[in-house]
Structure 1
Amino acid sequence: MPTTKYLLLFLVLTVAATGCNEEEFLEERPLSFFNPDNSFENFDQFESSLYDLYARVRTTHYSEDDFSYAHHYGTDMMKDARLSNSVGRIGDYTSAFNPTSGLVNWHWERWYKIVSSVNFILNQLEASDLTADQVTLIQAESRLFRGLAYRYLVYLYGDVPLYLDAISSPRTDFTRAPRADVLAQIIDDLSFARDNLPGITEVPDGRLHALVAQQLLAETYITTGQNDLAIAAATAVIDDPATALMTERFGITAGVDSFDVYYDLFRKGSQNRSGGNTEAIWVAQIETDIPGGLLTSTGGISGNRFERFHAPAVFTLNDPDGNSGMLSWVGDLNGGGRGVSFMQPTDWFENDLWASDFDNDIRNANHNYRRTIMYNDPSSAFFGQSAIEFPGTVIQSSDWRFYPWLTKVTTPMNHPPALYADPSIFLLTANAGATYTDQYYMRLAETYLLRAEAHLAAGNAQAAADDINVVRGRAQATPVEAGDVTLDYILDERARELSLEEQRRITLHRTGKLVERVRLYNDHNGDEIQDYNALWPIPLREIEANTTGNLPQNDGY
C-alpha cells in the first residue's frame, strides 16, 4: 500500500510539472456516437437528415393519430360520423379549436420542428466539406421543406413567428411576423428550390423535384394576388414533357372492364411514375413490413388510417330479422375492409355535389364512391340482398353504420396476405384498417384546378373553364360554361376530384372559404362554427413560454 501511494503521488507531480492544455484536454471527441459536430461531415449524412424531414411530413399527414386527419374532418366534405365530442375528429369546434387544445398544439409543434430542423441543416452547411453543387442541392431540398412548413403554419394560424436561423439555446423572445412576410419567405424558399432542384425524371419516386416547388409556388402566388406568376408556375408543371393526365387504363386493374382510369389511379402500385403514372407530382412512399415503411401487417395499425376512419362499420349491420347480416371485416368493395365509421361524408358531399352529373361522372361511379351494401353473411336469410332496401333497418336508425364511402381509401381484394383470416372470401384480421398504398401529396389534376383558380382571379373565366374541363373531361362529366365558373365552383370540383387527397381544411383556409362553406354544407358542424374559426388559435403554452417576446392571441380566442 505505501508503495502504491507514493507511485500515485509521483504520477500526479509529474503531470503537474509537465503541464497541459486544459481546454484541449477536456474537449469531448465522441468516437462511438453521433452529435451535431460529427453528424454533418459528408453528403450522405446531410442526405440522412433530409430523409428525416420526409418522414416527419409523412407522419404528420398519415400517422396513427386522429390529429393527422383533422384537415378532413369538420369541413364542407367530412364530419364526425359518431357525432361525438372527439377533438381529433372535430366533434365540435369549441373543443377542437381552443388555445389549450392538443390538436392545435400538435400541428404547431410538428411544422415548427420541421422549420427548426431545416434551419439547423442549413447552418451546418457552412462548416461542411461538401462541394458547391452539393451545398446548393441540400439547400434547395431543405428550403422546399421549410416553405411547405410555413405554408401550413400561415394558413392555419395567420401571423406566425418567422425565423431562419438555427436555435441552439432556449428562446423566449419570439414575435409574430405579418402574414405577408411569411408568404414572401415561402415564395423565396420555393423559388430557390425551383431553380436548383432536379427535374421530375431525375429523381426516384417520392423525392422532391423542381415541379413540386412550381406547384406550391402557383398556389402561393394565388394567395398573394400574383396571378400571372401563378399561371406561369402551374403552366410549367402542366407543359412539362414528363407530365400528363392519365386518360388510358393502367396498373393492376387495367384489364377489369367494369372499372375506369380514375379507379386505377388509387390501386396498389399505381401512384408513382415507376408504375406508369405520369399524373403523379409528389407521392408519399408507404410500405408494409419494411423498416421505415410506416405500416405493419402484424402489429396493429401504425399509420395511414383512412380505411379504418372513413370506411363504414358495415360488420355491425343486422338483417331485418335482427340477426347478423354481415361477416366481420371483408376487404372487398362491398365490405369496405376494417372500417369503423368515424369520417362520414356530409349530406352535401354525399348528394348535392353530384346532382348534375350523378350518373355519368365516373368519380361518382359505384366502384369509386360506394353507395350500395349487400348482406354478405351466408347464415342470414337476406344473404345477397341489399341492406339499403329494407325500410326501418338499423341503417336508418344509425346512419353511421353505413354511408357512401370513397373506395380510394382502401385496397379492395388486395390487402397484404398476412392480414387475411380467410383469403378465399377476403375476410380480414383485426390488424387491418390501414390504406396499404402510397398516397398522393400532389397530382396533375390539382395543377389544372390551381391554374383555373389563377385564371379566374385574373379575370379570364374562359381559360378557367378550359382548365376545369380537362379534369371534367377525363371524368366524363358535363363541361362547365365560362359564365358558371366561380371560386366556389372550383372548390366543388376540387372536392369531386381530390377527395381525401388534398388537405381540404388548408384549401378552405387559404381561400377564405372555411367558415362560409362549413355553415352551408356541414350538417353537423355548420351551426357551431364561428367567424373567428377562420384561423386557429395560437397555442397557449407557446404564449406563456414566450415571456420576453410578443405572441398575441388570435381574435376570438
Structure 2
Amino acid sequence: MKNKIIIFLSFVLLSTSCLKEDPPFLSDENLFTTDEGIKTAVNGIYSSIAGFNYYSSDLMQLVDFHSGMLQSTRAQDQNAIAALNPLPNDTFVENVWKASYQAINRSNETIMGIAKFQEDPSETALNELGQAHFIRALVYFNLVRLYGDVPLRTDKLNIENLDAPRVEKDSVYQLIISDLKLAETNLFDKSVQNIGRPGKQAANMLLAKVYVTLAGNESGSEYWAMAKEEALKVYGHYQLVSDYNTLWHEGTRNNNAESIFEIQYNQANSGNVIRLHTPSNAFVGQSWGRVLLNPEVIDQHMGQYPNDPRFEATVMYNYIKYNSDGTENGEQKIYPMVARTSKSKAFPFVGKFWIWDPKTPTPYSDANLTVMRYSELLIMLAEITNEIDGPAAAEPYINEVLTRARNSEGGDGIQPENITGLSQDEFRMRIMREYQYELLGEGGEWFRNRRRGLEYFTTQVVNVHNDRVALDGNQGFDVTYDDAEKAMLLPIPLTEINTNLQIGSDDQNPGY
C-alpha cells in the first residue's frame, strides 16, 4: 500500500510540473490582511507576465515568428514555427502555455485571498483587485486566441483540480468579459492611477478588442456596437504624442501620453526584448538579433506610403557594424536598400526595439513594452465605425493617426495623406493595413492576421507571402507557408497532453 502511495504522489508531482510553482507563489495568506500585502501579491502577478517566458521573450517570439509577417535568424525557428509549422513540443508553444497558467494561478490566488480576508476592502485594495482581474483577462484573451479551447481555471491550484479539460471558447470569453467589467468597476481612473498600472480605461480598451475579435468578419454582428461603446469610453482620455519617432527613443518611450498599458520591465527583461531585435554587430555588446520582417510587409508599406516617416522608425535596413572593441566595421545594408541575394540581406530588422548607443557594452536599457496604445484605439474606432455607420463617419479617427504620422520628424507634411472616398469594403481592407503600418513589430500581428477568419488570413497574409517568395524564386533563404487552416491556431503543448489526465492526444488542434 505504501508503495502505491509513493507512486501516486510521484505521479501528482509529475502531472503538475507545468503548473505548480516551487516555492509556492504565496506562502502566507495573511498577506491579504493589509493593502501593502495585497500590492505585493499583485506585483507578483505582474512579474509573471513580465518574465522571460512571457512578454520578456517567449511570447514575443511565438507571436512574431508564427504571425505570417515576420521571420527568424535561427534555422530551427525558421523551418518550424516561422514556417507556420511548429511542433507541440516547440519551446515557445510550451513556455507560453506554462507562463500563462502561472499568471492565471497567481491572479486566482490573489482574487480569492482578497475576498477571504477583506470584508470591507479599501479603495486601494479594490484597485489592486481590479488589476488582478485585468491581468487574468488579458492572459486568457491571449490564450484563447492562440490555442482555441483551453482549460478554464479560476480556483487556487490544489490536489482536487490538478487536471482540467479544454472548455469551449465561449466560456473562456464569458470569464474574460466578466473580469474586464469587474476591472472597470474597481480600477482607479487613469488620471489618478499609479504610473505604470492600468486605469479603468485600459479595461475598456481591452474589452473593446475582445468584442472586435468576437465580431470577426461578420458585418452585422452585435459585437461591433458593443465594441464601440467600450472604445468611446477610452476616446479622449489619452493623446497621440506629437512625433511618432519619440515612441521608440530613450527618455520618451515609457509611460507617455499615448500609453494605455505597458509592461514595466526591469533592466534584464528589457534587455531580452532589445536582444531579440538588435544584432550583435550593431553595437559592441552581445545580442541575438532574431526578429526579422518579411519582404512583403516592406513592399506594402512602401507602396502605400513611400514617404511615411513611420517606415524609417519601424524598419532597420541600414546600420553601422561594430567590433567588440568599439571600432567600426563597415556598413550593413539590407532589403529594401539592396537586393535579396542572401539571408543576411533578405530580411530587415524591427527598428522600434533597437540599441541606439552602439558603444554600450550591454543590451540593458530603460525600455518597457507597450501592449496597448492610443493610436491602436483610434484605428480600431475607425474599423468599428465603418462597420456600423460607414466610411465617412470612420475617416476622422484614422486621419488623426495619419496626421500625426506625416507631421513627425522626417515627414514631409504630405504623406501619408488622409483617407477619404473609399467604399465600405475598401475601407475595411485598408484599415487592416493601417494597423500594420502603425503597429508593425509590436506583437499584435498574429492576432490581427487571424481575427477576420481563415479566408482573410489565407488571401491577405499566406498567399501574399508565398507570391513574394515566388517572385524572388525562393533562393534558399525564405520559407513557403503551406497550411493556412492549421496555422489559425497553435498546437496544445505536448507536456499538457502528457500530464493533464483530462486532455489527450485526441484533443489536439487540427493538423498537429
CA contact (8 A) 1:172 1:545 kept: no
Query: Deviation of residue 109 (structure 1)?
Result: 1.2
Q: Does residue 354 of structure 1 match 2:302?
A: yes
* CA offset digits 1:366-408 (Å, max 9, x no partner): x65344346889xxxx99889679x9x9x86534258543432
CA contact (8 A) 1:312 1:400 kept: no
1:554 aligns to what? Answer: 509
Matches within 5 A, 1:123-142: 123-129=112-118, 131-134=120-123, 135-142=125-132
- Kindly provide the amino acid, as one letter, of the partner of residue 412 in structure 1: W
CA RMSD of aligned residues (A): 3.2
Matches within 5 A, 1:459-470: 460-470=390-400
1:17 aligns to what? Answer: none
The structure with more helix, counted as a fraction of residues: 2
What is the distance in 2 between the residues matched to 1:213 and 1:202?
Answer: 15
Query: Deviation of residue 217 (structure 1)?
Result: 0.7
1:408 to 346, 352, 356: 352
Query: Deviation of residue 130 (structure 1)?
Result: 6.0
Q: Is the partner of 1:132 in helix, strand or coil? A: coil
2:245 to 263, 269, 281: 263
1:478 aligns to what? Answer: 417
1:520 aligns to what? Answer: 463
2:105 to 100, 107, 116: 116
Query: Deviation of residue 510 (structure 1)?
Result: 3.3
- Kindly provide the amino acid, as one letter, of the partner of residue 177 in structure 1: V
- Kindly provide the amino acid, as one letter, of the partner of residue 99 in structure 1: P
Matches within 5 A, 1:223-302: 223-225=213-215, 226-240=223-237, 243-247=238-242, 261-273=243-255, 277-286=256-265, 293-295=266-268
Q: 1:272 to 1:341 in 2, by over 3 A?
A: closer
Query: Deviation of residue 278 (structure 1)?
Result: 1.7
What is the distance in 2 between the residues matched to 1:166 and 1:307?
Answer: 35
CA contact (8 A) 2:89 2:495 kept: yes
1:151 aligns to what? Answer: 141
What is the distance in 1 between the residues matched to 2:103 and 2:113?
Answer: 15
Q: 1:42 to 1:410 in 2, by over 3 A?
A: same
What is the distance in 1 between the residues matched to 2:174 and 2:373?
Answer: 25
TM (norm. structure 2) is 0.78
* CA offset digits 1:199-247 (Å, max 9, x no partner): 112122211210110100111111233111211211111122xx21122
Unaligned runs of 5+ in 1: 1-32, 248-260, 287-292, 296-301, 316-328, 332-336, 414-425
Q: 1:125 to 1:400 in 2, by over 3 A?
A: same
Would you say how many aligned residue pairs link Structure 1 and Structure 2?
449
Query: Deviation of residue 170 (structure 1)?
Result: 5.1
What is the distance in 1 between the residues matched to 2:332 and 2:165?
Answer: 59
What is the distance in 2 between the residues matched to 1:549 and 1:408?
Answer: 40
Q: 1:388 to 1:119 in 2, by over 3 A?
A: closer
Deviates more, 1:439-448 or 1:532-541: 532-541
Query: Deviation of residue 159 (structure 1)?
Result: 1.4
CA contact (8 A) 2:334 2:345 kept: no
What is the distance in 1 between the residues matched to 2:65 and 2:300?
Answer: 19
CA contact (8 A) 1:411 1:437 kept: no
CA contact (8 A) 1:73 1:89 kept: no
Matches within 5 A, 1:409-488: 409-413=353-357, 426-429=358-361, 432-434=362-364, 436-458=366-388, 460-476=390-406, 477-481=416-420, 482-483=422-423, 485-488=426-429
What is the distance in 1 between the residues matched to 2:192 and 2:128?
Answer: 16
Unaligned runs of 5+ in 2: 1-24, 216-222, 407-415, 470-477
1:47 aligns to what? Answer: 39
Q: Is the partner of 1:283 in helix, strand or coil? A: strand
What is the distance in 1 between the residues matched to 2:320 and 2:94?
Answer: 42
Matches within 5 A, 1:7-406: 35-59=27-51, 60-63=53-56, 65-66=57-58, 68-82=60-74, 84-86=75-77, 90-94=81-85, 96=86, 98-129=87-118, 131-134=120-123, 135-169=125-159, 171=161, 173-225=163-215, 226-240=223-237, 243-247=238-242, 261-273=243-255, 277-286=256-265, 293-295=266-268, 303-312=270-279, 315=281, 329-330=282-283, 340-359=288-307, 361-365=308-312, 369-373=315-319, 397-400=341-344, 403-406=347-350
Q: Is the partner of 2:244 in helix, strand or coil? A: helix
1:535 aligns to what? Answer: 489
